[in-house]
Structure 1
Amino acid sequence: MATAEQIKALIKCYAEHDDTRFYRVALQLAAEQARKGHKNVARELRQLVDEAKAQNAVVQPTRGPVPITQPRGELEGVLTASFPKARFTDMVLTPEVERSLKRLLKEHSNGERLRHHGLSPRRKILLAGPPGTGKTMTARALAGELNLPLFTVRFDGLITRYMGETAAKLRLVFDAMQKQRGVYLFDEFDAIGAQRAAQNDVGEIRRVLNSFLQFLEDDASTSLIVAATNHVEMLDQALFRRFDDTICYENPDAQLAAEMMKNFLAPFDLDEIDWDELGNLAEGMNFAEIARACEDAAKDMVMDDRAQLSTSDIRMALQERQRKPTYSPRSNRT
């Protein structure tokens, strides 16, 4: 029989139209039935998957929004556009972050009602926290939940060495927010949001920040503006009152780490995993590093042609990731 996690994974894939993962989980079930000696069931499952793939190769129904055209002209090197499929169910969030994001979605789902009473849903959001804690993923999930395109601001195309040109490009971005509703992500926002009184302050960047503050203050579009930073302490204090909400992220505790690993590895047989041990081991690592460790463990299982994951598989992958230079050891945590 399928495990509860596998059943949940199948339902989730179906609801999100994620055919690739749906087929992968179904083939996992077929392999499990074959190992138990249920050859006919396994063969029928594989046949159903093959038939479904063949049918989809012929008929591809339109799902979700129609793909948008990438920005052209002066915006071509400044914005990149995508339609993410991510949802908040794909993420493991702290209760505080989850409450803030659910409130944000609720306000936008009731936007017309709020505007009828002279109120507006919050649109300008600052996400702050260490690297790998889910800030960029949150922007993707917001776009997915609201069925909006995600426009990511490319600072390498925005910031130039010519006086006034960066501010002019920034104005184009805010003009685009009026013309095309979407989620506009300013990732690594401290690149332009650093304190104006900093010792290493550059005059042009100070002018860019002043322009950003003014544009943000004047913006009356229906787009969502999401700024994400790993260094909230570097941001100019004048920024905070311009945002409708600040959401703070942190590395997961043992319980959240274990929950994330269960979610990531749901397609596999997890009956004999000691989640308490693995959660304690992963505590303090960021979500991105935990996800990569889970992926490493799953790859090793598949390449070694083994039937199921073990606690030791995931433990070894976590320990290997902890030895990487991108991971801060427990002794250096603050």
Structure 2
Amino acid sequence: MAGNGRHVAAMVRSHAAGDDANFYSVALQVAAREAKAGHHVLANDIKKAVDASREQKTVREITMLAQPRGELADLVQATYPDVRLRELVAPTDLVSQIKRVLAEQRQRSNLLEHGFTPAHRLLLEGPPGTGKTMTAAVLATELAVPMFTVRLDSLLSKFMGETASKLRLVFDAVAGRRGVYLFDEFDALGADRSGNDVGEARRILNSFLMFLEETSSESLVCAATNHRSILDRALFRRFDAVLTYSLPDARQATIVMKARLGTLARNTSMAGLGQYTSGLSHAELVKAAESAAKAVLMRGEKQVDRDDLIIALSSRRQASFD
């Protein structure tokens, strides 16, 4: 008993001092003592608790390290997403492109050693709500790096006149901190500025192109746009790959809704719903599924039926096309 008391006292002191390493060490000593006493279940529980705590602490530390500081904190938002590639509902060719980018990043040392640069500058284009931001999150998750989101619309309006210098700060971070950097609503910066070559907008775009050209392959730069047609043509040759997104077909729409509904749609037939899902994005389908689910749960039921989905989808279509 005296031995256990000393261990408890040591753990309390370690916790108070913020000495996690010593805290875990003492906890493992307790586990070893219990194992010797024949209390194997308790010893195993202690070891599992230590391992789980260490893993959680590592994730917290990584997330904290990812948070931008100083001027950069006003320009980008850092997150540490947990979205796997298998969760992205997209055409086979698009998924193959993403897999290729991931494979090249994982083999970047090998490619660089032979004089080849892995793909790291991506243009994501397509209608709103079709998976562009989710793709950036997938890349960050699969590569176990932070995701940094740059909102160019606010950057341009808040720092107009000094945007080029602020962009340099962002690209300095790209070079110094491995991650996935998402330039959201990219058309705010990349729209064709024909006839405005001497203006501030042209200088900003030229600065972006120069910074993009110089980026290290350690990080991925993703530019997302809903309006490819208005982008300056000079942009396209600066990206290693252009990933094109589209509205889901009937099969993909079913997968999206089933994934969001989970067990609520276990026995629900979704055949022939194409006329109701047509024209809706992935994000709108998720919203429709959520609406149907909430209606069912508030009725005290646990099964979404076909009529629930038709009502929710029709409402989304009306809102989208009005």
> Normalising TM by the smaller chain, what interval?
0.7 to 0.9
> Is the alpha carbon distance of 1:147 and 1:163 closer, same or farther for their aligned partners in structure 2, counting shifts above 3 Å?
closer
Task: Return the offset for 1:155.
Answer: 2.4
Q: Of the candidates 300, 307, 311, which is equivalent to residue 312 of structure 1?
A: 307
2:74 paired residue number = 77
Distance 2:154 2:166 in 1: 9
Q: Of the candidates 118, 122, 126, which is equivalent to residue 119 of structure 2?
A: 122
Amino acid at match of 2:226: N
2:263 paired residue number = 267
Distance 2:75 2:97 in 1: 29
Q: How many residues align?
A: 269
Q: Of the candidates 173, 186, 194, which is equivalent to residue 183 of structure 2?
A: 186
What are the equivalent positions in structure 2 for 1:313-328 lying under 5 Å apart? 313-324=308-319, 327-328=320-321
1:226 paired residue number = 222
2:203 paired residue number = 207
In the alignment, does 2:213 pair up with 1:217?
yes
Distance 1:93 1:196 in 2: 32
Q: Which moved more, 1:128-137 or 1:62-71?
A: 62-71
Amino acid at match of 2:309: I
In the alignment, does 2:97 pair up with 1:100?
yes
Q: Which runs of 5+ in 2 are unaligned?
A: 1-47
In the alignment, does 2:276 pair up with 1:281?
yes
CA contact (8 A) 2:124 2:224 kept: yes
Percent identity at matched positions?
Answer: 46
Distance 1:141 1:160 in 2: 29
Partner SS for 1:267: helix
CA contact (8 A) 2:277 2:285 kept: yes
Q: Of the candidates 110, 129, 133, which is equivalent to residue 132 of structure 1?
A: 129
Task: Return the offset for 1:202.
Answer: 8.5
1:146 paired residue number = 143
In the alignment, does 2:80 pair up with 1:87?
no
Distance 1:207 1:166 in 2: 9
CA contact (8 A) 2:276 2:317 kept: no
Task: Return the offset for 1:270.
Answer: 2.1
Q: Which moved more, 1:85-94 or 1:208-217?
A: 85-94
2:109 paired residue number = 112
What are the equivalent positions in structure 2 for 1:156-175 lying under 5 Å apart? 156-160=153-157, 164-175=161-172
Distance 1:60 1:279 in 2: 47
Report the TM-score when normalising by structure 2. 0.78
> Is the alpha carbon distance of 1:162 and 1:90 closer, same or farther for their aligned partners in structure 2, counting shifts above 3 Å?
closer
Distance 1:284 1:83 in 2: 31
Q: Which has the higher helix share?
A: 2
Distance 1:178 1:188 in 2: 22
Task: Return the offset for 1:292.
Answer: 0.3
Q: Which moved more, 1:315-324 or 1:62-71?
A: 62-71
Distance 1:219 1:112 in 2: 16
Task: Return the offset for 1:99.
Answer: 1.1
Amino acid at match of 2:276: L
Partner SS for 2:279: coil
1:258 paired residue number = 254
> Is the alpha carbon distance of 1:160 and 1:310 closer, same or farther for their aligned partners in structure 2, counting shifts above 3 Å?
closer
1:301 paired residue number = 296
Distance 1:184 1:192 in 2: 15
Task: Return the offset for 1:283.
Answer: 2.0
Distance 1:255 1:176 in 2: 41
Greater CA radius of gyration, 1 or 2?
A: 2
Amino acid at match of 2:307: S
1:237 paired residue number = 233
Distance 2:145 2:73 in 1: 19
Partner SS for 1:291: helix
Task: Return the offset for 1:221.
Answer: 4.5
Partner SS for 2:262: coil
Partner SS for 1:62: helix
2:28 paired residue number = none
> Is the alpha carbon distance of 1:101 and 1:74 closer, same or farther for their aligned partners in structure 2, counting shifts above 3 Å?
same
1:62 paired residue number = 55
Distance 1:303 1:163 in 2: 48
> Is the alpha carbon distance of 1:161 and 1:207 closer, same or farther for their aligned partners in structure 2, counting shifts above 3 Å?
farther
Task: Return the offset for 1:60.
Answer: 4.7
CA contact (8 A) 2:119 2:217 kept: no
